[in-house]
Amino acid sequence: MSGAWRVWAGAVALAMTGAIVWPIVPDEDGFPLSNYPMFSTPKTTTAKIYHVVGFTPEGAAYPLSPEMVGTDEIMQAYQTVKLAIRGGRAGALCKEAAARVRTSDAFGDVSRLQVRIDVFDSVRYWEGDRSTSRTRIVAKCEVPQ
């Protein structure tokens, strides 16, 4: 039996072990090597939410679904809104979402949008108190008719 495969196996195993464990050292997230930071840091009940909210002419509010923000994934939608706000693109995002809302059946009665940051108390929220402790409206736009 040739020993060459053993050298190869050892090299691959060492490289794989080192690569998977390495993100611990710089404490960095990445792909496909990660320090898996999600849910690892201490967390208070403060929940800062970046989202786009649609309003009917009567004032009823509906958070827009990920599809209206341009993705079918909830976490990607969240990041898209967050990065748009941080990158000064909230106005453009609002207009893009409005164009999608215009052709959407689910949000047919929505007439205007707000890109906003809402801060909730996460425990009180699920106990029924959905009031915000802070709200920042970053961009507003009308849904074209």
Partner 1 sequence: MSALRRIVCPAMPAERLAMLRILVGAYGVIYLLARVGALWGVTRYPAGQFKPVGLSMLLDAPMAPAWVAIGIVVALLSGVAFTAGWRFRITGPLYAAAMLWVLSYRNSWGMPFHTENLLVLHTVVLAAGPSAAAWSLDARGRPGPEPDARFGWVVVLMCWATALTYFVAGWAKLAHSGFGWVTSDTLRNFIAYDNIRKAELGAGYSTLGTWMVAHAWVFPPLAGISLTVELLAPLSILHRRLGMLWAAAAWSFHVGVLALMYILFHYPIIGVAYASYFPVEKIGQWVMGRVRQREASA
Binders of partner 1: how many residues, by CB under 8 A?
65
Contact region with partner 1 (CB under 8 A), list: 82-90, 97-105, 137-145: 82-90
- The tokens of 133 are what? 């402790």
Nearer to partner 1, 55 or 62 (CB): 62
Site for partner 1 in 10-39 (CB under 8 A): 12-13, 16-17, 20-21, 23-24, 27, 29-39
Decide if 81 contacts 50 (C-beta within 8 A).
yes
Site for partner 1 in 85-104 (CB under 8 A): 87, 89, 92
From residue 41, alpha-carbon distances to 35, 44, 76 in Å are: 12, 10, 21
143 binds partner 1 (CB under 8 A): no
Q: How far is the CB of 43 from partner 1 (least distance, A)?
A: 4
Q: Looking at 77, 85, 113, 141, which residue binds partner 1 (CB under 8 A)?
A: 77
Residues at the site binding partner 1, with contacts judged by CB under 8 A: 5-6, 8-9, 12-13, 16-17, 20-21, 23-24, 27, 29-45, 47, 49, 51, 62-66, 68-84, 87, 89, 92, 118, 120, 122-123, 125-127
